[in-house]
Chain A
Amino acid sequence: MDYSLKKYYKQSATYKIFSGIFTYSAAIISTLGDISLNAVEVAKCILKGQIDRRELIEQCNRFGISSLPITLSIVGMTSVIVASQVALEMVKQGGGNFVGLLMTMLIVREVGVIMSGFAIISMIGSSLASEIATMRVTEQIDAIKVLKVNPIRYLFVPRVLSGLIMMPPVVAIAAAVGVIAGAITANLTSGLGYLAFFDSAWLGIYMKDLSVCMLKAATFGAVIALISCSCGYAAHGGAKGVGEATTKAVVWSFVAIVILDMFFAMVFFF
């Protein structure tokens, strides 16, 4: 009697909705907890100077060099799209002198870093997550532990550091390419001269913008690497588990950098 009642209760919509919400929030909280614990462990290792130089160089290569083509094209193309939409209209309305300013501000403050972030998540974040998830489900991480090596030190530290170190230069190059692409597009679509573009472009760049941009880049790089590694590290259950971990890493990284970007905007530009 009691049992059948329980069964009936479990089929009710209310139960399903609330248990669904509960399971979902519990999963989110546990993932957040995992990520924070890993972050603390990574910070500890870095403070103790436990950095594997060989691994770090290899990960920097991966993070910087291999992500460059896709990052540059995405930021460049975004800039082309924006410039082609606004340049002609602004010139027509007599605002030609501000096209450069608008484009650089947009790129330095937002487009450069957030688009690079998206590019790097899809390129590097997904590969970090699937790599570490594969190591997890094939017991390679257990093997590291049995050999008495700290997997966080060996796997996370070089990857997170490489994000921290390599993302600022990647964003800087991407932003430069974006501005140049914007100038060319403006010139082609509206006949705006390069001199007029770059004259106003300088007006749009403040030291503060540049430093916030680099700070954001370093933060995003480290956060993407940390989230991707953490999701991979928590994987379980074969090939399906690897796929799930990769998806989770990408989704969480996207959400995280958008939230962080909002946070930066509120702290630095209000």
Chain B
Amino acid sequence: MSIEVKNLVKTFGDKRVIDGVSFKVNNGETLAIVGFSGSGKSTILKLICGLTTPDSGEIITSEGDIAMVFQYSALFDSLNVADNIAFALHERKELRKKYTEKEIKNIVAEKLELVGLKGIENKFPSELSGGMQKRVSFARAIVTEPKTILYDEPTAGLDPISSTLIEDYIVRLKDETHAASVVVTHQMSTITRTANRVIMLYNGKVVFEGTPEEMLRQDNEYTKQFCMASLEGPMRMIAEN
């Protein structure tokens, strides 16, 4: 068992954003989380990687690093691409001892090649397109060989070809590292290409859980509304406050 989430609850102010969510993700498995904007998907990822603490509930992850690919890349804009990717290797004591500067350089080159961006080591994040930033962010996240990988809308705002590229990396990485992955996404292609299972969030609760095929069958009112992108159905966009 690589990620196990039990009865998670998280409130911001008096708003219960996550209200009793439970799921499991095995090693070598990818779970997709779907739901409206503001339904608490990013919050779940932040809870799993420890950026925020739950009000109650339990999160168990397997030992080793947890990686996160952030929604807006979150690259360090004062560092060039190479230093961004090598950040953990430079800044973490145990890793700094493990590698020489030359080895770090090779690792950076290797990760850049993996995401199809060979030779851009000396560019700065602001010089890259959104898709390229996402891919660099991807390379930075996997440099420590994590056992758990979280993706926050990895393909949002990308053109279809860049999306396909990213989806392929997600699958390839899962096959190579046998990591447990969670992908937050709105995009049907990302769900069908990368996920083994899907959960749908609404009002802080899980309203659907199943395989992508089951989701596409639309025999649940929620999945039906989501797949049809319909305004009619059990889910309502509630204006904030």
What's the dominant secondary structure at chain A's contact region?
Answer: helix
Given contacts A146-B49, A147-B144, is CB(A139)–CB(B88) below 8 Å? no
Residue of A nearest to B91 (CB): A149
Which residues of A125-153 have CB atoms within 8 Å of chain B's CB atoms?
A: 131, 135, 138-140, 142-149
Q: Which of A138, A140, A154 contacts B91 (CB 8 A)?
A: A154
Q: Are B91 and A147 in contact (CB under 8 A)?
A: yes
B72 at the interface (CB under 8 A from A): yes
Given contacts A145-B51, A147-B144, is CB(A139)–CB(B74) below 8 Å? yes
Q: Which of B65, B68, B140 has the most CB of A within 10 A?
A: B68
Q: Which of B66, B71, B78 contacts A146 (CB 8 A)?
A: B66
Residue of A nearest to B67 (CB): A146
B76 at the interface (CB under 8 A from A): yes
Residue of B nearest to A139 (CB): B74
B124 at the interface (CB under 8 A from A): no
Interface size classification for chain B: 20 to 34
Which residues of B57-109 have CB atoms within 8 Å of chain A's CB atoms?
A: 65-68, 70-72, 74-78, 87-88, 91-92
Residue of B nearest to A149 (CB): B91
Within the complex, what minimum Cβ distance (angstroms) separates A146 from chain B? 5
Residue of A nearest to B42 (CB): A139
| Residues of A with C-beta under 8 A to B91 | 52, 147, 149, 154
Q: Which of B50, B76, B88, B141 contacts A140 (CB 8 A)?
A: B76
User: How many A-B residue contacts, CB cutoff 8 Å?
Assistant: 50
Given contacts A148-B92, A149-B92, is CB(A142)–CB(B87) below 8 Å? no
B46 at the interface (CB under 8 A from A): yes
Q: How far is the CA of A146 from the CA of B150 in the complex (A)?
A: 11
Q: How far is the CA of A143 from the CA of B78 in the complex (A)?
A: 14
| Residues of A with C-beta under 8 A to B70 | 139, 142-143
| Residues of A with C-beta under 8 A to B71 | 139
Q: Are B74 and A149 in contact (CB under 8 A)?
A: no
The 6 closest A-B pairs by CB, nearest first: A139-B74, A143-B74, A147-B88, A149-B91, A146-B68, A139-B70
Q: List 13 interface pairs A-B (beta carbons < 8 Å), by A numbering.
A: A52-B91, A138-B77, A139-B72, A142-B51, A142-B70, A143-B68, A143-B140, A145-B50, A145-B51, A147-B87, A148-B88, A148-B92, A154-B91
Known pairs A145-B50, A147-B92, A148-B88 / 8 extra A-B pairs, C-beta < 8 Å: A135-B76, A140-B74, A142-B46, A142-B70, A143-B68, A146-B66, A146-B68, A148-B92
